[in-house]
Structure 1
Amino acid sequence: MRHDIEFNTEDGVILRGWFYRAKGVEGPAPTVIMAHGFTATREIFLGSFAEVFSAAGMNVIVYDHRNFGVSDGTPRQHVDPWAQINGYRDAITYAQTLPEVDAGRIGIWGSSYSGGHVLVVAALDRRVKCVVSQVPLTWGFESARRLIRGDHWAGLRAAFDGDRAARARGEPGAMMPVTAPEGQPCALPTADTYDFFTRFAAENETSWRNEVTLHSIEMFTEYEPATYIARIAPTPLMVVVASGDHLTPFDMTARAYAQALEPKRLVVLPGGHFEAYTGEPFAISAPAQRDWFSTHL
């Protein structure tokens, strides 16, 4: 069973999502807080993981980041990683006010861009007792340089500067597609990104929109969550990687994981970045994540 929830951030933005009640538990239960990756929204497969965790006796809070989906916030479709990090921390504060929640047993889960966020949150916030980071962004600048053709990089930097000047004049920030057919400008220029989002949008009712602020991409290039990973211990950390991932590449994630201290566990899945949400990789990963949370919460 799930029901709708909403809570306030420290700066007064309302975030909305779902609360899954722990099955078979009377009284306060451990709780996992979940949010999705770059421009995505709660309905894009997060419920599949939440149901696995709930069935194992954990509450789950799933919410949309500010500026996306059913949550408030402006500018719309703007990804500010530090505002999203603070959103996780606000979600923890909210969870600890609920009678169904054991305030001393809070875990966090993130995937892709939010997989990077939970590394930062777990390093900074000792209310977090366990963390799962799935196919995470680790180093933003290096990731961007791998994704963006070298002959396009100078032009993109000039576009960032022009957008900053336009916003300073009070003009709306520039927008660009999140994903597009091969060869067309977009934020995430991989074929599997285009296939994943467009197929999901065609087959499901979703609040996802194929646009993002150009400023979001500039902030992506400046975001380095892996620099926090050694500070997570002694909070238990699970990192889930996909062996064929070229959006958040395996080698970068493995390098970040090597810097983490114990207790930690690495789970390697077959396939690419987006296959982590469905099919055989999900069948491998979701039970492992459930057991990690169950053990440490």
Structure 2
Amino acid sequence: MTPRIDAHQHYWRISERAGHWPPRELSPIYRDFGPGDLTPELEAGRIDGTVLVQSLPTVEDTRYLLDLADETGTVLAVVGWVDLKAAVAATRITAFAAHPKARALRPMLQDLADDAWIDDPALDGAVAAMTEHDLSFDALVMPRHLDSLYAFARRYPDLPIVIDHAAKPHIATDEREPWCSAMTRLAHLPNVHCKLSGLWTEAGPAADVEAVRARLHPYVRILADLFGPQRLMWGSDWPVLRLAAIRGDYGEWLSACEDDCERLFGAAAPPDVFGGNACRFYRIGV
């Protein structure tokens, strides 16, 4: 039976995030979040395990996540951080990859001043080390980064890449272009995958959950058409999900995505979207 996997969630200690996001005014997420907080949601959603994703661009944060993974059975894979342009990048990637649950790296591209940071041959050494150790790449990007991500994905066709949160389209204002055209180009590359995550927090205010779901339907359909049931994977983006204007409820988001995927792909496809694809991409169980 295919495991059910949440392909994108975070844990953090707020005391270690001074000067980093989230700010104090984001009260729904301005506190510590650990495995004990997420366990009831996983049990209610019948989720077997998760992919724990970095949220600070520090070696210390990645070390903290790996330590958590050692003691948390539901954490099946870790997406960490390394400065991919540092002179010692290859050495640090090798050290990261030595952990049994280390599976991918994620530079925080959305926070960098240079939107084209990723389109740079200076990454050759780091990517070579990643492919040597069977690591994947999580792309934390926004629509403005997609042209540079396309150049990066073409330069490294052997590197598995997943676009986090579908590149955060401007759903609240329903601006589908140039996001749709850029995602279409990326979807033509077989090494590029996409996460069905983070979309409720991009949807803006609405009267109720059904209104949010209706607002998201065109975007989910675009992603389904582009990536199909074999390159799309579900993630909660918990606890950031708590910022969604309408509710931010884990179970509601999961149910909405299950309904959409069954409608778009048929009943046979959801096991891949809700577990199988994440297992293959992150080598869970390998």
How would you bin the TM-score normalised by the shorter chain? 0.3 to 0.5
TM-score (norm 1): 0.34
TM-score (norm 2): 0.35
